[in-house]
Amino acid sequence: MKRRLCRFLNDRSAVTAIEYALLASLIAGVVIVGATAFGDALGNMYIYARDLIVLALQ
């Protein structure tokens, strides 16, 4: 029983998994904020480029 308890207390794999989960959630948050902040501007840029291409082809 004591050996199992020592092995459980020395196991660091759960800590690593939690760190990766926190890092992934931070990256996802940055992507969502960036997409929200720049989404309209990026969409308008593509519309402008499309309009220029259509105008050039006429």
Q: What is the pTM of this model?
A: 0.53
Neighbours of 30 (CB within 10 A): 10
DSSP per-residue letters across 3-42 = HHHHHHHH--HHHHHHHHHHHHHHHHHHHHHHHHHHHHHH
Q: Kindly tell me the number of DSSP H helices and DSSP E strands found in the chain.
A: 2, 0
pLDDT tens, 12-48? 777 788 889 999 999 999 999 988 888 888 889 999 9
Looking at per-residue pLDDT, the higher value among 13 and 50 belongs to 50
Domain ranges of the chain: 2-57
